[in-house]
Amino acid sequence: MVALINGQSADQLTITDRGLNYGDGLFETMHVVNGRVRHRDLHMARLQRGCQALSMQFPDRELLDREIDSLAAPSAHGVLKLILTRGSGGRGYRPPDAPATTRILQRHAYPDFPQHYWRDGVRVRYCELQLARQPALAGIKHLNRLEQVLARREWNNPDIVEGLVCDQKEQVIEGISSNLFIVVDGIVKTPDLAQCGVAGVMRQCVLAAMQAKNQAVQITTLTKSDISGADEIFLTNSLIGIWPVNRLDQHRYHVGPLTRDLQRHLSCYG
Amino acid sequence: MVALINGQSADQLTITDRGLNYGDGLFETMHVVNGRVRHRDLHMARLQRGCQALSMQFPDRELLDREIDSLAAPSAHGVLKLILTRGSGGRGYRPPDAPATTRILQRHAYPDFPQHYWRDGVRVRYCELQLARQPALAGIKHLNRLEQVLARREWNNPDIVEGLVCDQKEQVIEGISSNLFIVVDGIVKTPDLAQCGVAGVMRQCVLAAMQAKNQAVQITTLTKSDISGADEIFLTNSLIGIWPVNRLDQHRYHVGPLTRDLQRHLSCYG
């Protein structure tokens, strides 16, 4: 791991940081290809929305870009994880009057996903954990991720690649670390994230791609029965791009033409 | 601040720790008086329940006690904050197969609360933020505390000492960093915490004290109208003990006999 904290080479953070104490911060996981961050502006825009939601100060964009470039440039294929926290201090939960955002940037190797995840699709399951509905935190990628940790602990079978999570009204929301799309009778649908879930950058790319083709996408509530009746299912996130789903619990699915088309359009092969 | 990480004097933690990345951990805030931790066994028992809820390994108790003693002993009056995290590693949200719990222990000065908070009571308000209902995390003192940070940002008036938070069904749950009790017609009532909230150590002491006196306590759902009709209101946590509430938004309350009696019984003067 190579890392910068506030622009300085470092891999240790003070234990008074609010990121550790309260999860008081945000993060982005970015895909680096040939030294460049894919969809950088979309990541920065989401981070900025997160800062607004948490009333945190977004760092100087040029400074952030320089730091990102310095870690991204030497990497042919990798992952940059950027954490922003509200910094140190404050008495208890109350933030300090003039908090200084901490920038933590880490470079990791790209995960060794098998090529067939993109080609043939992945097997997924439903998780038992239900996401709490919290509109104040919905959509943003904040550091309070215990629900995801608990959901990911529900299985060990390495053949199962992702878990789908529902909210407490039994609406299917997302994958643990991905967004969910289905195709029904040629219509693309993805869950509404107003109450919970993370609005992913690759989800946004898919929505934009569909709009560019003048094809409708329904952002809506989806039940398990909607999902099991789907013609195609796929997952998105910034690292994987688009993975078709070929099996969900006992249901099997074909990799469909719309999924393939979006993979090509968004250059989402592994 | 004086601090130990895994028993070693240190105040910096690796940025790969899951406590920072996901809030994947727990904490306890303990009151030190004359070098001794008050209600140590209750704190350790709650921490152990938290470890069970998150499937984290509880550290060796003797080891933990030695570390706590070494920081508590020199302190006439202070605060020990103990954080346990699931340590470093794992790919994404998935915990590593054999995670090593990180122990982070910090000693802080006791806050400079005015004496009249205990004597005359405190002014509190309702927060607008509503707590999400998540039974998988309810009751335990985990590191995902963004709701509390957001709620605490709602006011700046230093005369208002605490905020009360409701859940999304408009049931009053707790103070941002305290538990809530009311007295109605001689009956003590406190909110049920099965869906959200932190089950505090001092709350447990009050429940035990009432049981020892053979006095009933109702652990129940409470609405704002239940609260506004109360004869006495008080707040509890490990640092404050018991603070009477003398004002909640526009409603004013007397410091009542049952509150006083519990303060005496539990040695809760400042």
- Which of A102, A174, A236, A259 is catalytic? The answer is A174
| Per-residue model confidence as pLDDT tens digits over A159-182 | 999 999 999 999 999 999 999 999
B169 part of the active site? no
CA distance A264 to chain B (A): 26
Q: Report which secondary-structure segment, H or E, holds A105.
A: strand A102-109
CA distance B71 to chain A (A): 16
Q: Which two tokens stand for residue B79?
A: 């605060």
Q: What's the full length of chain B, in residues? A: 270
Q: Averaged over A235-255, what is the pLDDT? A: 97
Q: If contacts are CB pairs under 8 Å, which of residues 2-61 in chain A contact chain B?
A: 3, 5, 11-24, 27, 54-55
- Tell me the C-alpha distance between B25 and B144, whole Å: 8
User: Hey, what's the torsion of the CAs at B87, B93, B96, B100, to 10 degrees?
Assistant: 20
Closest CA to A23 of A196, A140, A126, A129: A140
Q: Which two tokens stand for residue B184?
A: 């109605």
What's chain B's average pLDDT? 96
CB contact under 8 A, A149 and B86: yes
Count the neighbouring beta carbons within 10 Å of the beta carbon of residue A131.
23
| Amino acid found at B246 | N
Closest CA to A123 of A243, A262, A257, A258: A243
Q: Which of B12, B83, B168 has the CB atom closest to A133's CB atom? A: B168
Per DSSP, chain B holds a count of helices (H) and strands (E) of: 8, 16
Q: Averaged over A181-185, what is the pLDDT? A: 97
Residue A83 at interface with chain B, using a CB cutoff of 8 Å: yes
Res A90: pLDDT: 74
Confidence of residue B269 (pLDDT cuts 50, 70, 90): low
Does A64 score more than 80 pLDDT?
yes
- Which of B29, B85, B190, B259 is catalytic? The answer is B29
| Amino acid found at B26 | L
CA distance A57 to chain B (A): 14
Does A269 score more than 90 pLDDT?
no
Residue B215 at interface with chain A, using a CB cutoff of 8 Å: no
A85 part of the active site? no
Residue B187 at interface with chain A, using a CB cutoff of 8 Å: no
| Per-residue model confidence as pLDDT tens digits over B48-71 | 999 999 999 999 999 999 999 999
Q: If contacts are CB pairs under 8 Å, which of residues 225-264 in chain B contact chain A?
A: none
Does B4 score more than 90 pLDDT?
yes
| Per-residue model confidence as pLDDT tens digits over A196-227 | 999 999 999 999 999 999 998 999 999 999 99
Residues of chain B with pLDDT > 70: what percent? Answer: 99
Q: How far is CA B168 from the centre of its chain?
A: 21
Confidence of residue A75 (pLDDT cuts 50, 70, 90): confident
CB contact under 8 A, A137 and B144: no
Q: Averaged over B86-112, what is the pLDDT? A: 93
Residues 6 or more apart in contact with residue A146 via CB below 8 angstroms: B22, B23, B24, B54, B137, B142, B143, B144
Count the neighbouring beta carbons within 10 Å of the beta carbon of residue B234.
31
Q: Which chain A residues contact residue B142 at CB under 8 A? A: 146
Q: Which residue of B has its CA nearest to A25?
A: B146
Interface test with A, best of B1, B9, B20, B129 (most A CBs within 10 A): B20
CA distance A23 to chain B (A): 5
Strand arrangement, sheet containing B8-9: B8-9, B2-5, B102-109, B77-85, B25-33, B36-37
Q: What is the pTM of this model?
A: 0.97
